[in-house]
Chains A and B, each alone.
Chain A
Amino acid sequence: MFVQVNGERREVPDGATVLELLRTLGVRGRVAVERNGVVLRQAEHADVRIGEGDVLEVVTFVGGGA
């Protein structure tokens, strides 16, 4: 199935969890994930299953002041 991750179309296995998606993407370190406009708790990453057409945002901290 296809989903959108950080604005890009990506193919993921049917029934994949958010955590599995992050592993597939090679994400290391701590990230926060928003799924269809709802911010997920860290603990939910392993349980929440991604659905066809989901829009996911994966964010992290970067340098910034104001």
Chain B
Amino acid sequence: MATTEATAAPGLLLPPLTPEDTARSQDRSRVHRARRHSRRWQLLWLLVGPGILAMLGENDGPSMIAYASDGAQYGLGFFVPFIPVLFAMAFICQEMCMRVGAVTHRGYGELVLQRYGRVWGWFGAGDLTLTNLVTLVAEFISIRVGLAYFHLGSGVAVALGLALVGFTLSGGRYWRWERIVLGMALFNGLFLVAAILVKPHVGAIAGSFDFSPFPGGSFNTLLLLLASTIGATVTPWMIFFQQSASADKGMTPRDVKHGRYDTAAGAILAAIFGVGALIAGAVLLGHGGSGIEGFAGAGFPEALRHVAGGAVGTVFALGLIEAGGVAILTISASTAYAAGECVGVSHSFNSSPRNAAVFYAANAGIALLAATVILIPGAPLLSIALNANVLATVLLPVSLVFMVMLANDRGLMGAWANKRSTNVIGITVIAFVGLCGAAYGIDSFLQTIHLIGS
């Protein structure tokens, strides 16, 4: 819990080292050396990871399709500045997760379960499993859409996704897993390349930062756009993932400053790449872009090829494969952390599969389950993909409330507890997310049962 300089010292009685401790300590020894020799860039390199992975992991297949759809339907306008605003909101939430993980050395799931009771812990884990399963199906669809551009089918998408999970799990070290996924995540920049290749009008992009034109259409469509765009930016899995990964990485209160850099860098990169996808999609405005139903066939890459050239289509397709692949790894990891934490068994990439069977089984199992769904003939993949973000938005407020409660818990956090300003912003974010999700859910339901017109 809240210990600032509690580094183990000679003379203290210490528990025996487990293999997990040994692996984590080896990573920490490099951090200590870099700090002792004032190697600032090396220290930053060693401490970045969970923040960038959470943010770029959330720039997943459905999210990039959602941004491109916004661009294709409305062009440059409201959503260009709205995406950075959402990632600023995500930074507020994720910074709290990182701080709680670094100070308590415990994951979100286990803290909620132990601090507030099993009912709340299991509710949170249940929400996470449901949204993660739906989102993972959408990630496999995203890979499939990307591969379809290269005339490859579902079987290849499933094999690729599962091979990635198997490969990254094989190392038995958090550091290895993190660096592989981080390396892959940087290819999210392909969406920025796609945006540059379509040669956008820079003045039009700059001009859209006054949040205009505001998207037109029906109230329900606007709510859907807001809910799915919010769901593309802040989701329950990010909360579980970043807190648990920060603890697994071995971060301490001394690393909180670098954790903030990491989270801010992730938010900035994710916002830039997200806007890149929107700009690329915006070239389809007036070329039938609004008619592309997200995941229908190989919609966006093919349409971009026709309108902006083969290079744009290829880069966008590769971007979708990358986005889906990275998200499969991070979302599966968040499920594994939650499973291990709630069951109360070892939950670390620094543990071997033998010592952390539940963790590894949950990680591979949920990916396998999602992969199986996309192989079912006639499964409603398009609807699943489109509703994944909305469901995440609806379930998010409960996770955020507990996050704020943990970050305010002085018994756990001591001097690292939230400041009043952080609470004001955090509660505003929760209220905004909750209202948008609830408004969409209720409005759609009332339309479905014909109590109100569309």
> Are chains A and B native binding partners rather than an unrelated pairing?
no
